[in-house]
Amino acid sequence: MTGPSATTQTLAADLLIIGWGKAGKTLAKDLGGRGRRVVLVERDDSLIGGSCINVACVPTKDLIDSAEHRAGAEPAAYLRQAIASRDSLVTRLRAANRAMLETVEAVTLIGGEARFTGPHRVRVRGGDETLEITADQIVINTGSSPLLPDLPGIDGPNVHTSQSIQHITDLPERLAIIGGGFIAMEFASMFAAFGSQVTVLERSARFGSGLDGLDDDVREAVVTALTDRGVRILTGAVVEAIDATGVNTSAGRIDAEAVLVATGRRPETAALNLGAAGVATDERGFIIVDEHLATSVPGIWAAGDVNGGPQFTYISLDDYRILASQLAGDGSRSTADRSAVPTTTFITPPLAQVGLTEREARRQGIDHVVAAKKVADIAAMPRPKILGETHGLIKVLIDPATDKVLGATVFSTDAQEVINLVALAMRAGATATQLRDGIWTHPSSTEALNEVLATLSAGR
């Protein structure tokens, strides 16, 4: 524990932050820089800096990039090199995050597990030491972790989560992935590129039940991209048990040296003793907050994954903005200010979305027209052909009365960048015609908008 060295000490703070996530660390730096007495508590040294840089966004994308560049390298040795490179990057980022706060005099960093003993009192244990912290304002920023279903064999040594598989000892010749959501897709694409024979086990009769309502044409394009790289997708496969050599399912036996369980995430609240503080949670254990991220207890907020909102680091960063508005601003910012929030799943090529899908627009009865084209058929966008990756499609929904963009799916090379432009256009009120007639660099992926949106003009 960094801080008081006696067996039991007390410490008073203006602001206590529990958990070193994106929102928490950014808020600590901001308010500490303003002279507030900030205490930040983190129980796990391997998560200093938050999940994003340690086990989520950054290290997984580093592994995905390595997998895409394997070429003819021997698979097992190459995976070990990729993991070592991943670990080196994480170590550097973790050190930079620690240094970012250690240089702020008003911020005190504490290592240990926090547990509420009252609404504004927390006990932190680290080794043989105990610290009692009181604070008028508290932010809970403890994040989430992989959720494991209750299955025979789930605790076997060959069973992995999205975190543990990043340090798998040997490249499995055969990898079974339980789950059909976005995390499952990313790892399926990654390990297929590393050289494993990947089988995705989807309990639904149709692949992608956990993919937030993808349109059928997008779903089919995703399946094509995955199967073309060797991923086997088995639908209607309810997992019954896992053992040392594979998985028993309702659709038959799947032999595998390793099993990845990607069936969702749970909030990290079990150790917090939230009942002592009176902080309310929902039926899944996520902390209930209002549009200003305030919990049921005055002076306590919850930020990041633990509050049940979208589980993205950029949402956690926006949570920081809302909290800063509450704690050091005019209090006006809220989750209601969020619009056209994009998402990206880093399969190959990336799948990015913003706004309405066609399925959702129809369900809501929203008038719309669609401009769409397969990436392989977009002549004005040679970049995918240059890179040798022409899977996917680009699809834009437009309000015919206003010419405003209602939503878009970009399943293509550089989708994670193109979708940001479309999201900005939606927030700024730019029209589809302005995107269609935009002057974009060449060769780039953005210029696909010229041709895709022109198909709408041709159809009018």
- Look at residue 85 and tell me whether its pLDDT is greater than 50: yes
- Look at residue 355 and tell me whether its pLDDT is greater than 70: yes
Count of CB atoms situated within 10 Å of the CB of 94 = 19
- Look at residue 6 and tell me whether its pLDDT is greater than 60: no
Determine contact, residues 85/62, Cβ cutoff 8 Å: yes
The Cα–Cα gap between 365 and 362 comes to 5
Count of CB atoms situated within 10 Å of the CB of 298 = 11
β-strands 258-261, 159-160 pairing: parallel
Would you say 335 is a known binding-site residue? no
Per-residue model confidence (pLDDT) at position 16: 98
For the segment 339-351, the average pLDDT, to the nearest whole number, is: 97
For the segment 145-157, the average pLDDT, to the nearest whole number, is: 97
Per-residue model confidence (pLDDT) at position 207: 80
- Look at residue 3 and tell me whether its pLDDT is greater than 90: no
Per-residue model confidence (pLDDT) at position 444: 97
* C-alpha angle 448-454-459 in degrees, rounded to nearest 5: 140
- Give Rg (Cα) of the chain: 24
- Look at residue 353 and tell me whether its pLDDT is greater than 90: yes
Per-residue model confidence (pLDDT) at position 154: 98
The Cα–Cα gap between 228 and 347 comes to 13
Per-residue model confidence (pLDDT) at position 8: 78
% of residues, the chain, pLDDT over 90: 94
The token pair that represents 116 in the structure block: 């509420």
Would you say 74 is a known binding-site residue? no
pTM of the model: 0.95
Per-residue model confidence (pLDDT) at position 222: 96
Would you say 372 is a known binding-site residue? no
- Look at residue 212 and tell me whether its pLDDT is greater than 80: no
Q: Write out pLDDT tens, residues 25-39.
A: 999 999 999 999 999
Would you say 21 is a known binding-site residue? no
Q: Write out pLDDT tens, residues 286-334.
A: 999 999 999 999 999 999 999 999 999 999 999 999 999 999 999 999 9
The Cα–Cα gap between 184 and 166 comes to 13
Active-site positions read: 442
pLDDT category of residue 213 using cuts at 50, 70 and 90: confident
Per-residue model confidence (pLDDT) at position 4: 46
The Cα–Cα gap between 161 and 173 comes to 18
Would you say 334 is a known binding-site residue? no
The token pair that represents 220 in the structure block: 């089919």
User: Quick one: DSSP state of residue 286?
Assistant: P
Would you say 161 is a known binding-site residue? no
Structural domains in the chain, sorted by start: 8-145+266-337 (3.50.50.60), 159-263 (3.50.50.60), 343-459 (3.30.390.30)
pLDDT category of residue 209 using cuts at 50, 70 and 90: low
**Beta-bridge partner residues of 241:** 248
Please provide the average confidence, as pLDDT, over all residues in the chain: 95
- Look at residue 371 and tell me whether its pLDDT is greater than 80: yes
Would you say 305 is a known binding-site residue? yes
- Look at residue 210 and tell me whether its pLDDT is greater than 70: no
Would you say 264 is a known binding-site residue? yes
- Look at residue 370 and tell me whether its pLDDT is greater than 70: yes
Would you say 181 is a known binding-site residue? yes
378-414: string of b/e by CB count within 10 Å (b at 16+)? beebebbeeeebbbbbbbbbbbeeebebbbbbbbbbb
Per-residue model confidence (pLDDT) at position 306: 98
Q: Give CA separation, 366 vs 212, 362, 398, in Å.
A: 18, 6, 10
Q: Write out pLDDT tens, residues 108-129.
A: 999 999 999 999 999 999 888 8
Per-residue model confidence (pLDDT) at position 322: 98
Higher pLDDT pick, 432 / 460: 432
**Contact partners, residue 135, CB within 8 Å, separation at least 6:** 12, 13, 14, 15, 16, 39, 120, 122
Would you say 185 is a known binding-site residue? yes
